[in-house]
Amino acid sequence: MKKMAVSILATATLGMGIGIGAYAQSTIETIQAFINHEIKFTLNGQAWAPKDPDGKELSPLIYDGSSYVPLRAIGEVSGLKVHWNDSTNTIELQGAASVPTGAKPYKDSQNYGNQTGLANK
């Protein structure tokens, strides 16, 4: 009887794991991108480097012609409060910055894959 209960519990747990895995796969997508360590930042005309909480320098991620920068480091140095809300999967930004009316995303460049220093597959 005890073996049967353990077997049922293990099967139920495995079934839940498969269901959770299927859900996660529908919301997360694998991409190919590049980290470009050659891109530099300036802040008010002075050299500046975004860093993680441990002090490690961070570099922009290049995907499909656009640069993606470390939001927390950039936001906080710009006066924004950056918070991750785990219960709603939301990045919350608070501060004086606002999105201009009619602002649209754009591509920084069309040829990142051809630049020196980037790995191509």
For the chain of 121 residues, list the mean pLDDT of each consecutive stretch of 10. Answer: 44 46 70 94 93 92 93 90 92 75 61 46 37
**121 assigned to some structural domain:** no
Same domain, 62 and 20: no
**57 assigned to some structural domain:** yes
Q: Which residues contact 81 (CB under 8 A, 6 or more apart)?
A: 75, 92, 93, 94, 95
* Separation of first and last alpha carbons in the chain: 55
**119 assigned to some structural domain:** no
Q: Is the pTM of this model over 0.75?
A: no
Same domain, 78 and 104: yes
State the number of CA atoms in the 13 A half-sphere of 20 facing the CB. 6
To which residue do tokens 């975004």 refer?
Answer: 50
What is the span of the domain harbouring residue 104?
32-113
